[in-house]
Every structure is written in C-alpha cells, then in structure tokens.
Amino acid sequence: MTVRWTELVIFTLLFALVTGLGFYAARWKAASLDHLDEWGLGGRRFGSWVTWFLIGGDLYTAYTFVAVPALMFGAGAMGFFALPYTVLVYPLVFLPLVRLWSVSRVHGYVTPADFVAGRYGSATLALLVAVTGIVATMPYIALQLAGLEAVLRTMGLNGSGLAGHAPLFVAFVILAIYTYQSGLRAPALIAFVKDTLIYLVIIAAVIILPAKLGGWGSIFDAADAKFAATKTPADGILLGANNQLQYVTLALGSALALFLYPHAVTGALASRSRNVIKRNMVALPAYSLILGLLALLGYAAIAAKTKPIVNAATGRPDSNTVVPMLFEGQFPAWFAGIAFAAIGIGALVPAAIMSIAAANLWTRNIYKVYLRRGATAEQECKQAKIASLVVKLGAVVFIVFIDPQYAIDLQLIGGVIILQTLPMVAIALYTRWFHIWGLVAGWAVGMGWGLVMLYGIPNPTTGKQHFGGSALALDKLSILGWHPLSGSPIQIYVGFVALLGNLLVAVVMTIMLRQMRVFNGTDETNPPDYLEDEGSPRLRPVANMLR
C-alpha cells in the first residue's frame, strides 16, 4: 500500500478550507442558532442562487460522481437511467412543490411530517412519515460514505479491518461537529466551493479525457467491446430485452422519490418564495448535463483500461474507485488531488444536509410529540443537533450490514422505503380523499412487501443471499405465494412494485372505510393556503414559526 502524497496533501488542504468555512458559516447572515428555524432551515431567507447551490449540492452527490459511473462501468447502459431520472423530476415536482411551500409557510410546517399531521390531524400518520424519512435517509448517507471512502482508499489510505475505516471516521467526525455548530448554513456555504471544484474538474475531464482516449466514438466502442466479451447478456451499451422495464421504473421511481426525501423538502422550504423554487426547477437541469457526462466517465474508465482498487477491507475490487482511479491514471497528481477533494466534499455536503433534515423530523415529529410536549426552542434545537449525529451513526451501521453489488443500490433501497410515503405526502397536496387508516394499511403493505423483495435479492459478486440489489425478476414476483409472471426474466425496480401494492391497498381500504363512515381526522388546511406567496400577511413570520 503506497500513499499518494501529493493528492493527499491537496485533498487535506481543501478539506481544511471547507471545514473553516463550515465553522465560519455560523456567523453568516447571523441569527441565533439555538432556534430550530435558524439552525435547520437557515432562517428561510435563501434566494434563487443559494437555493440553486443548496438543492443542487444536495441532489448531486457521491451518487453522481461515484455510484452512477461505477454502475456504467460494470453494467453499461442500465446505469444511464440517472439521466432520464433527473430530466423527469423537475417537471414532475414543479407544481406540487410550490403548493407544499405555501401551505408550509401558512401553517409553520418545517418537515413533510408536519404537513401530514396538519392535513390529516393524525399523529400516527405523521409518526409513520417521520420514521420512514429518517430510515430512508440513512442508506442515502451511507452511499455518501462509500463515495468518500473510495477516494480515501484511492489515495492510499486503504487499510484493512477496522483501522482501515479510521480516515473516513475522522472526516466524518469533522463534518458532524461543524454541522452541529452551524446547521444548514454550513452546507449552503460549502456548496459554493464544492460546485466550483466540481465544475472545474468536470470541464477538464470531459474535454481532456476524450482527447486522450481517442474521442467519444472510440470510448463507446471500447465499452461495447468489453460488454460483448462478457458472458452475461444483461450488460452492453444499449438496453437489452430484460432491462428496459427496469430502466423506466428506476428513472420514474427515482424521480417520484426524490422530493419525498426530507432533505430535498428542507432545501425547498428554505427558499424565500414560490418563484425562487420555480426558477430553480428551470435552472437545476444544468446539473443533469454534468450528471450525464460524469456517468460516461464509467465508459472512459473502460477505454483507459482502469483497474479498480482492491479494497483491503473486503479483499474484492471496489467498483466505486473506478472514477478516482481514472483521474489518477490520466491526470497529473496535483489535479487528481483537486478531483478527489471535489468528490470528497461533494459527498460531505449532502451528508450534512440529509442528516439535518432527518434531525428536524426527529425533533418536531417524534421528540416534541411523544417525548417532551412542552419543549423550549433551545431544548428542541439541542435535540436536533444530537439527532443529526445519531443519523450519521445509523448510516455507518447501514454500510456495515448492507453490502449490495453496486453502491447505487444503497440509494435505491432508500428509494423503496421513501416511496411508500408518496400517497400520504404528495397526493395529499391535492386531495384529502384517502382515509387515514387506508394510508396506514397501504404503507404497511408497501413497506413490508418492499423489504421482503429486497431481502430476497442475492448479490452475485459476494455470494451473499440478501439485500444484494434493487432489481427483481418478474419471475420471482410473489403475491402471497402466487407467482403471476412465473418464467419471465424481465427485471423491474422493487420500489415501483411496492408502491403499486401500497396504492392498491390504500384505495381499497379507503373505499371500505368511507362506506363505514369511520372518522377521518380533521384537516387544518384550506384550499387558499396552497397558493399563498411571499408578501402575503397570512404567512407566518420566520421568528415565530414554531408553535
């Protein structure tokens, strides 16, 4: 094991810079950080630019820089589903998201679970949304950890056993401390640095790499040749007969899931007005272009004959290291160092935002409701800060116990979980038709079925029998032991199947419960609440958002 010193020094310097920024952020647009609205939503004063960097920094993560290219490297065209995913998501959420912003500002909601509590007058439903959000966030943060670790291992910090995780642990503790200190301001400020670095690296990569490797044409040809030489018919630079449905359901499922995650909602709620959100829905696809080009670095790595590093902790080649190794092989050491820093910081920013959002859920919807009803603003904020640490630890647990074939499956497993809140949150923005207990039943079925399906998917590379991925062959699709599509090798995204089950049960139960006239909670929102905008006297002033 050799340490690459140049890269490590540059990485460390840039990392120290953002850490300094993280602590400085506490004083940026200063206000009391003992208040959850300040710590957890940055005072809700972010304009278009800050929001763009914040949501962008939050959505395009180690997922984009490490996990998607790794999937392209290993499986080919399948991995490109991330592009239609990020094309679809903005038009899909454009209308619902501004409705959520308005109703949240009128009633003082800070989390998706707050909204559900107000909309349905049901503490049970809010609890389900809160718990689901917190749990679904953990594997997503775990993905960030995997990305950061890939960079550290590439730089030579590739120890075995528990000691091998030490550098990652140090990086994460630093992150935890400044998140604790500065709240949402830290990642918002760092996101500027991160994006500057990322753009620099990307532009260099997409111009220089194809030139060095004989142009995009020969990069695609090299990838084609590699996939043609493998025995499995599932890979290739085009989709096959069995994975088109998977491609479509992954793209659509991911798009529907994205703005259900508490961190994405936090980013949107932190903006100043409806127009800020709308303008961002127009501008955010600039990141999609980059995502697509980064995904193709997986093919560039094939053309450059990049070999992933053998992870000393597992003894197997770590596909997450293909992009770092590509930079290592094709660029001078100093530039590789900058690229590694970009990837590393690009993993930390979203990890911070995600843990803050999950912490908001814990504090507002579990701690204050079930554990300490009369909590003061300071106590509440303290809880959120501690919870943000606990969520990060949960992510570590996830990465230890769940070891799928591709790191991207961590995010996709999170997607299976968070998608089950779609009927309660997204559909509720438009209609109160669903019955509370119908939604609860749908959630239970979707979650249970989804987890059973995930449990049954093996990992072909490690030989482990469970939680090896997120694609289910229709042949294996079982409805209480009945296999309606037995024999079909066509693959589908588990999250999509589970959501359909969820919706079906919720609809059937709702029809029954409505027939029986079971009490369906009290709705504290009114139709005009969903349309209010900045400047309206009905919006709660930020200072007394907390009820």
Partner 1 sequence: MSSGSSSARPPSRPVPRWSGWNLLLLLPLLSLVTPLYNSDKPRLFGFPFFYWLQFMFIPLGVVCVAVVYLRTRERR
Decide if 545 contacts 139 (C-beta within 8 A): no
CB atoms < 10 A from the CB of 162, how many?
Answer: 9
Tokens at 43, concatenated: 């005072």
On whether the CB atoms of residues 290 and 202 are closer than 8 A, the answer is yes
Two tokens at 503? 């919706």
Neighbour count for residue 280 (Cβ, 10 Å): 23
CA distances from 71 to 249, 257, 317, 344, 459 (A): 17, 20, 14, 19, 14
Nearer to partner 1, 249 or 311 (CB): 249
Torsion of CA 313, 316, 322, 325, to 10 degrees: 60
Tell me which residue of 133, 347, 351 sits closest to 261, measured CA to CA: 133
Residue of 32, 314, 522, 536 that binds partner 1 (CB under 8 A): 536
As a whole number of angstroms, the distance between CA 220 and CA 334 comes to 28
Least separation, in Å, of the C-beta of 412 and partner 1? Answer: 17
What single-letter DSSP state applies at residue 493?
Answer: E
Residue of 177, 132, 135, 103 whose CA lies nearest to 389: 177
Taking the least distance from each CB to partner 1, the nearer of 218 and 522 is 218
Give the helix/strand (H/E) hosting 492. strand 491-493
Interface residue with partner 1 among 3, 166, 170, 289 (CB under 8 A) is 289
Output phi, psi for 445, to 5 deg: -70, -45
| Region from 151-159, 185-193, 365-373, 524-532 binding partner 1, contact rule CB under 8 A | 524-532
User: Least distance in Å: CB of 11 to partner 1?
Assistant: 31
Q: Which two tokens stand for residue 198?
A: 């990322």
From residue 60 to residue 99, the character string flagging contacts with partner 1 as x (rule: CB under 8 A) and all else as - is: -----------------x--x--xx--xx-xxx-xx----
> What length is written for the chain?
547
Among 111, 418, 144, 421, which residue's Cα sits nearest to residue 265?
111
From residue 239 to residue 278, the character string flagging contacts with partner 1 as x (rule: CB under 8 A) and all else as - is x----x--xx--xx--------------------xxx--x
Query: 135: closest CA among 438, 454, 380, 378?
Result: 454
CB of 128 to partner 1, least distance (A): 29
- Asked if residue 8 binds partner 1 (CB under 8 A), the reply is no
Binding status of residue 500 toward partner 1 by CB under 8 A: no
User: Using CB under 8 A as the criterion, what x/- string covers residues 93-132 for binding partner 1?
Assistant: -xx-------------------------------------
In the set 108, 121, 156, 285, which binds partner 1 (CB under 8 A)? 285
Which residue lies nearer to partner 1 by CB, 212 or 316?
Answer: 212
| Closer residue to partner 1 (CB): 56 or 164 | 56
Nearer to partner 1, 92 or 312 (CB): 92
Of 30-38, 280-288, 476-484, 503-511, the segment contacting partner 1 by CB under 8 A is 280-288
We find the least distance from the C-beta atom of residue 68 to partner 1, in angstroms, to be 13
Query: Which tokens belong to 119?
Result: 């909309």
Under rule CB under 8 A, residue 524 binds partner 1: no
Chain centre to alpha carbon of residue 255: 11
Residues 292-351 within binding reach of partner 1 (CB under 8 A) = 292, 296
- Quote the least distance from Cβ 265 to partner 1, whole Å: 19
- Scanning 340-348, 392-400, 477-485, 530-538 for contacts with partner 1 by CB under 8 A, the matching segment is 530-538
- Contact between 450 and 462 under an 8 Å Cβ cutoff? The reply is no
Closer CB to partner 1, 117 or 251, in the complex: 251
Task: Using alpha carbons, list the distances in angstroms from residue 60 to 140, 299, 445.
Answer: 12, 20, 31
3 state SS of 470 = coil
Question: Min. distance of Cβ 92 from partner 1 in angstroms?
Answer: 7
Question: Which residue carries 């209308």 as its tokens?
Answer: 95
Euclidean distance between CA atoms 340 and 347, whole angstroms: 11
In whole angstroms, how close is the CB of 84 to partner 1 at the nearest point?
4
What is the phi/psi pair of residue 357, to 5°? Answer: -65, -40
> Segment near partner 1 (CB under 8 A), from 393-401, 402-410, 463-471, 534-542?
534-542
Nearest approach in angstroms of CB 294 to partner 1 is 13
**H helix or E strand, kind and range, residue 414:** helix 408-418
**Gap between the Cα atoms of 170 and 547, Å rounded:** 38
| Residue 238 binds partner 1 (CB under 8 A) | yes
Task: Compute the least distance from the CB of residue 310 to partner 1, in Å.
Answer: 31
Residue 442 backbone dihedrals phi, psi, to 5 degrees: -60, -45
Q: Determine the interface stretch with partner 1 among 177-185, 283-291, 356-364, 447-455 (rule: CB under 8 A).
A: 283-291
Minimum distance, C-beta of residue 425 to partner 1, in the bound complex (Å): 19
Choice from 34, 475, 524, 534 touching partner 1 (CB under 8 A): 534
To the nearest 10 degrees (0 to 180), the angle between helices 5-24 and 166-182 is: 20
For the CB of residue 274, give the shortest distance to partner 1 in the complex, in Å. 8
160-219: which residues touch partner 1 (CB under 8 A)? 210, 215-219
Please tell me whether residue 220 binds partner 1 under the rule CB under 8 A. Answer: yes
How far apart are CB 331 and partner 1 at their closest, in Å? 21
- Minimal CA–CA distance to 182: which of 377, 24, 390? 24
Count of positions on this chain that bind partner 1 (CB under 8 A): 47
Residues near partner 1, by CB under 8 A: 77, 80, 83-84, 87-88, 90-92, 94-95, 210, 215-220, 237-239, 244, 247-248, 251-252, 273-275, 278-279, 281-282, 285, 288-289, 292, 296, 527-528, 531, 533-538
